[in-house]
Homo-oligomer: A and B are copies of this chain.
Amino acid sequence: MRGMLAAVVVCLAMIPAGDIADSGKQSGPAFSGQALVRPTDYATWPVVGTSLGLTYSDHPQSGPGAFHRVYMNPSAYDQFLRTRSFPDGTMFVLEEREARQKTSILRGGFFEGRRIALASSVKDRQRFRAGWAYFDFDNGARATATAFDDSECHSCHVAHGQQDSVFVQFYPALRGGD
């Protein structure tokens, strides 16, 4: 346990200075070597958007699909609302949950069941050639994750994300105005 705490302290010390540090909040990307450390406190971060069953494929899916919740680290969120741009040190966490139905008094509709996936993206123009990198924590089973190859996630994000490779068009907290 003491070793784990020491490791966490070392990781926090590796958070990029500047954009994150000036808010006084520590929540944000932390690295262990090349690997991103799984955040433990993301459940209290601002949720920028939620969706159900989003698909980019023409093949119809069976059932409602999964809930996606996208969280953003608080200091980057605050900064984005002021500047309308994503600072280095921006971190999104994507949490996927089963869509559950017809329990309790429900006759229709879907609510969030158990978590089935946990992933993340981070902006750091010094660290990542493409500016952003993408990580999969295997639904929380991995304490750290290494970045996907740019061809796996980034190519779609850069082509279809409305602003700076981010799908702002699906996130009411970042779109603004509605």
Contacts and interface: CB of A to CB of B under 8 A. Distances in A.
Interface string A35-63: 00000000110110111111111101100
A16 B173 CA distance: 30
Main secondary structure of the interface of A (DSSP, over half): mixed
B69 A106 contact: no
A112 interface: yes
Interface stretch (A82-90, A97-105, A124-132): A97-105
A103 B46 contact: no
Given A111-B170, A178-B115, A162 B104 contact: yes
Contacts of A106: 54-56
Contacts of A52: 52, 99, 109-110
A69 B172 CA distance: 12
Given A74-B44, A162-B104, A172 B54 contact: no
Interface of A: 43-44, 46-47, 49-58, 60-61, 65, 67, 69, 74, 77, 97, 99, 103-115, 160, 162, 167, 169-170, 172-173, 178
Which 6 A/B pairs are nearest by Cβ-Cβ distance?
A53-B109, A114-B178, A54-B109, A51-B111, A55-B108, A111-B170
